[in-house]
Amino acid sequence: MMTPRRLIALWLCAALARPFASSAPAAEVRQGDSIEQVVRALGEPKGAMTIGDRLVFTYARGTVVFRDGAVISARIASEAEASERVDKRDEAVAARKAAEEAARVKRMEAGQAEKAAMLADKEFGQRPAEERLACWRTFREKYRTVPVDAEIAAAEAEAKKTGDEAAVAELERITNRISQVEAAIEKARNTTGVSRNGLLKARADLDRLRIEMDDLQRRREELEPAAAD
Protein backbone atom coordinates (compact mmCIF):
# COMPACT_ATOMS: atom_id res chain seq x y z
CA MET A 1 0.00 0.00 0.00
CA MET A 2 1.37 3.42 -0.99
CA THR A 3 1.92 5.77 1.94
CA PRO A 4 0.64 9.39 1.89
CA ARG A 5 4.22 10.70 1.82
CA ARG A 6 5.09 8.48 -1.15
CA LEU A 7 1.93 9.59 -2.92
CA ILE A 8 2.77 13.27 -2.38
CA ALA A 9 6.28 12.75 -3.72
CA LEU A 10 4.95 11.10 -6.86
CA TRP A 11 2.45 13.94 -7.41
CA LEU A 12 5.22 16.53 -7.09
CA CYS A 13 7.51 14.68 -9.46
CA ALA A 14 4.71 14.38 -12.00
CA ALA A 15 3.86 18.06 -11.64
CA LEU A 16 7.42 19.18 -12.26
CA ALA A 17 7.94 16.78 -15.16
CA ARG A 18 4.85 17.59 -17.20
CA PRO A 19 4.74 20.67 -19.46
CA PHE A 20 2.00 23.24 -18.79
CA ALA A 21 0.88 25.52 -21.59
CA SER A 22 -1.89 27.45 -19.86
CA SER A 23 -1.86 31.22 -20.27
CA ALA A 24 -3.47 31.79 -16.86
CA PRO A 25 -1.67 34.24 -14.51
CA ALA A 26 1.13 32.46 -12.63
CA ALA A 27 -0.14 33.36 -9.15
CA GLU A 28 -3.77 32.47 -9.80
CA VAL A 29 -5.21 29.25 -8.38
CA ARG A 30 -8.79 28.24 -9.13
CA GLN A 31 -11.07 25.55 -7.81
CA GLY A 32 -10.65 22.43 -9.90
CA ASP A 33 -7.02 23.13 -10.84
CA SER A 34 -4.79 20.08 -10.86
CA ILE A 35 -1.75 19.52 -8.70
CA GLU A 36 0.41 20.12 -11.75
CA GLN A 37 -1.21 23.49 -12.39
CA VAL A 38 -0.81 24.59 -8.80
CA VAL A 39 2.85 23.58 -8.70
CA ARG A 40 3.46 25.39 -11.99
CA ALA A 41 1.73 28.50 -10.65
CA LEU A 42 3.04 28.62 -7.09
CA GLY A 43 6.09 26.39 -7.13
CA GLU A 44 6.89 23.44 -4.92
CA PRO A 45 5.11 23.74 -1.54
CA LYS A 46 6.98 24.27 1.71
CA GLY A 47 5.04 21.36 3.19
CA ALA A 48 2.39 18.78 2.32
CA MET A 49 0.17 16.54 4.40
CA THR A 50 -2.87 14.34 3.98
CA ILE A 51 -5.98 14.75 6.11
CA GLY A 52 -8.43 11.98 5.36
CA ASP A 53 -9.07 12.10 1.59
CA ARG A 54 -7.57 15.59 1.29
CA LEU A 55 -4.08 16.71 0.36
CA VAL A 56 -2.94 20.05 1.78
CA PHE A 57 -0.08 22.08 0.30
CA THR A 58 1.35 24.86 2.46
CA TYR A 59 3.06 27.94 1.05
CA ALA A 60 4.51 31.05 2.59
CA ARG A 61 1.45 32.91 1.33
CA GLY A 62 -1.23 30.38 2.31
CA THR A 63 -2.60 26.89 1.70
CA VAL A 64 -4.15 24.89 -1.12
CA VAL A 65 -6.41 21.88 -0.46
CA PHE A 66 -6.90 19.07 -3.01
CA ARG A 67 -9.27 16.17 -3.20
CA ASP A 68 -8.94 13.54 -5.89
CA GLY A 69 -6.07 15.53 -7.38
CA ALA A 70 -8.07 18.75 -7.87
CA VAL A 71 -8.22 22.01 -5.91
CA ILE A 72 -11.29 22.30 -3.66
CA SER A 73 -10.16 25.38 -1.72
CA ALA A 74 -7.27 27.81 -1.70
CA ARG A 75 -6.23 30.61 0.59
CA ILE A 76 -3.32 32.28 -1.11
CA ALA A 77 -2.51 35.90 -0.40
CA SER A 78 -1.38 38.16 -3.22
CA GLU A 79 2.23 39.26 -3.41
CA ALA A 80 1.18 42.67 -2.09
CA GLU A 81 -0.74 41.14 0.83
CA ALA A 82 2.11 38.81 1.63
CA SER A 83 4.57 41.70 1.54
CA GLU A 84 2.29 43.72 3.80
CA ARG A 85 2.11 40.82 6.26
CA VAL A 86 5.88 40.56 6.31
CA ASP A 87 6.18 44.32 6.84
CA LYS A 88 3.68 44.18 9.72
CA ARG A 89 5.48 41.24 11.27
CA ASP A 90 8.82 43.03 10.99
CA GLU A 91 7.29 46.16 12.49
CA ALA A 92 5.88 44.13 15.38
CA VAL A 93 9.25 42.52 16.00
CA ALA A 94 10.98 45.90 15.88
CA ALA A 95 8.40 47.40 18.24
CA ARG A 96 8.83 44.53 20.69
CA LYS A 97 12.61 44.88 20.64
CA ALA A 98 12.31 48.65 21.13
CA ALA A 99 9.99 48.11 24.09
CA GLU A 100 12.37 45.56 25.61
CA GLU A 101 15.30 47.94 25.18
CA ALA A 102 13.32 50.82 26.71
CA ALA A 103 12.41 48.61 29.67
CA ARG A 104 16.05 47.57 30.05
CA VAL A 105 17.25 51.18 30.01
CA LYS A 106 14.55 52.21 32.46
CA ARG A 107 15.47 49.42 34.86
CA MET A 108 19.16 50.25 34.58
CA GLU A 109 18.43 53.91 35.36
CA ALA A 110 16.35 52.85 38.36
CA GLY A 111 19.21 50.66 39.56
CA GLN A 112 21.75 53.44 39.15
CA ALA A 113 19.52 55.80 41.13
CA GLU A 114 19.07 53.22 43.89
CA LYS A 115 22.82 52.57 43.99
CA ALA A 116 23.55 56.30 44.29
CA ALA A 117 21.02 56.57 47.13
CA MET A 118 22.61 53.65 48.99
CA LEU A 119 26.08 55.16 48.67
CA ALA A 120 24.84 58.55 49.89
CA ASP A 121 22.96 57.05 52.86
CA LYS A 122 25.12 57.65 55.95
CA GLU A 123 23.00 55.29 58.05
CA PHE A 124 23.57 52.51 55.49
CA GLY A 125 27.31 53.23 55.49
CA GLN A 126 27.44 52.76 59.26
CA ARG A 127 25.78 49.37 59.23
CA PRO A 128 27.92 46.30 59.98
CA ALA A 129 29.89 45.11 56.98
CA GLU A 130 27.99 41.81 56.86
CA GLU A 131 24.66 43.65 56.51
CA ARG A 132 25.98 45.92 53.77
CA LEU A 133 27.47 42.93 51.98
CA ALA A 134 24.09 41.17 52.01
CA CYS A 135 22.40 44.32 50.69
CA TRP A 136 24.85 44.68 47.81
CA ARG A 137 24.48 41.03 46.86
CA THR A 138 20.70 41.39 46.81
CA PHE A 139 21.08 44.55 44.72
CA ARG A 140 23.25 42.68 42.19
CA GLU A 141 20.57 40.02 41.76
CA LYS A 142 17.92 42.70 41.27
CA TYR A 143 19.86 44.94 38.88
CA ARG A 144 22.23 42.74 36.90
CA THR A 145 23.18 45.53 34.48
CA VAL A 146 24.36 47.90 37.24
CA PRO A 147 27.92 47.04 38.37
CA VAL A 148 28.50 46.75 42.14
CA ASP A 149 31.55 44.47 42.15
CA ALA A 150 33.69 47.14 43.81
CA GLU A 151 31.14 47.72 46.58
CA ILE A 152 30.82 43.96 47.21
CA ALA A 153 34.60 43.50 47.29
CA ALA A 154 35.00 46.38 49.76
CA ALA A 155 32.25 45.02 52.02
CA GLU A 156 33.75 41.52 51.89
CA ALA A 157 37.19 42.82 52.85
CA GLU A 158 35.76 44.86 55.72
CA ALA A 159 33.62 41.95 56.92
CA LYS A 160 36.68 39.68 56.91
CA LYS A 161 38.73 42.24 58.82
CA THR A 162 35.97 42.70 61.37
CA GLY A 163 35.62 38.95 61.72
CA ASP A 164 39.36 38.52 62.15
CA GLU A 165 39.48 41.21 64.83
CA ALA A 166 36.57 39.59 66.64
CA ALA A 167 38.30 36.22 66.41
CA VAL A 168 41.48 37.66 67.95
CA ALA A 169 39.54 39.27 70.79
CA GLU A 170 37.59 36.08 71.45
CA LEU A 171 40.77 34.02 71.37
CA GLU A 172 42.34 36.32 73.94
CA ARG A 173 39.27 36.07 76.16
CA ILE A 174 39.28 32.27 75.90
CA THR A 175 43.01 32.10 76.67
CA ASN A 176 42.50 34.18 79.82
CA ARG A 177 39.54 32.06 80.83
CA ILE A 178 41.58 28.88 80.35
CA SER A 179 44.18 30.25 82.74
CA GLN A 180 41.46 30.97 85.29
CA VAL A 181 39.96 27.50 84.90
CA GLU A 182 43.35 25.84 85.22
CA ALA A 183 43.93 27.73 88.50
CA ALA A 184 40.47 26.75 89.73
CA ILE A 185 41.09 23.09 88.85
CA GLU A 186 44.38 23.11 90.75
CA LYS A 187 42.66 24.66 93.74
CA ALA A 188 39.89 22.05 93.68
CA ARG A 189 42.45 19.23 93.52
CA ASN A 190 44.28 20.54 96.58
CA THR A 191 41.17 21.01 98.69
CA THR A 192 41.81 19.47 102.13
CA GLY A 193 40.48 19.82 105.62
CA VAL A 194 36.92 20.39 104.55
CA SER A 195 33.70 18.60 105.37
CA ARG A 196 32.35 15.77 103.26
CA ASN A 197 29.85 18.15 101.66
CA GLY A 198 32.64 20.59 100.88
CA LEU A 199 34.67 17.82 99.30
CA LEU A 200 31.72 16.73 97.15
CA LYS A 201 31.23 20.32 96.03
CA ALA A 202 34.91 20.63 95.15
CA ARG A 203 34.74 17.47 93.03
CA ALA A 204 31.60 18.73 91.28
CA ASP A 205 33.35 22.03 90.59
CA LEU A 206 36.32 20.12 89.23
CA ASP A 207 34.15 18.11 86.83
CA ARG A 208 32.38 21.27 85.66
CA LEU A 209 35.66 23.10 85.14
CA ARG A 210 37.10 20.20 83.13
CA ILE A 211 34.07 20.28 80.81
CA GLU A 212 34.46 24.02 80.40
CA MET A 213 38.18 23.57 79.72
CA ASP A 214 37.49 21.05 76.94
CA ASP A 215 34.98 23.43 75.33
CA LEU A 216 37.36 26.40 75.60
CA GLN A 217 40.23 24.47 74.04
CA ARG A 218 38.01 23.33 71.16
CA ARG A 219 36.88 26.90 70.48
CA ARG A 220 40.47 28.14 70.66
CA GLU A 221 41.51 25.61 68.03
CA GLU A 222 38.70 26.84 65.77
CA LEU A 223 39.66 30.50 66.19
CA GLU A 224 43.44 30.21 65.89
CA PRO A 225 43.50 29.99 62.03
CA ALA A 226 41.32 33.11 61.68
CA ALA A 227 43.32 35.00 64.26
CA ALA A 228 46.56 34.03 62.52
CA ASP A 229 45.34 35.64 59.24
**Domain ranges across the chain:** 4-76, 122-228
Q: Does domain 4-76 have CATH number 3.40.50?
A: no
Identify the pLDDT of residue 113: 96
Which residue type sits at 189? R
| Nearest Cα residue to 9 out of 61, 42, 50, 51 | 50
Q: How does DSSP assign 168-227, residue by residue?
A: HHHHHHHHHHHHHHHHHHHHHHT--S--HHHHHHHHHHHHHHHHHHHHHHHHHHHHHHHH
Burial grade of 216 (CB within 10 A; 0-12, 13-18, 19 or more): middle
Identify the pLDDT of residue 191: 63
| Nearest Cα residue to 66 out of 50, 52, 55 | 55
Phi, psi of 23 (to 5 degrees): -100, 10
Identify the pLDDT of residue 3: 52
pLDDT along the chain (229 residues), means of 10: 50 44 51 93 92 93 93 88 86 94 94 96 93 94 94 91 73 76 71 66 76 78 64
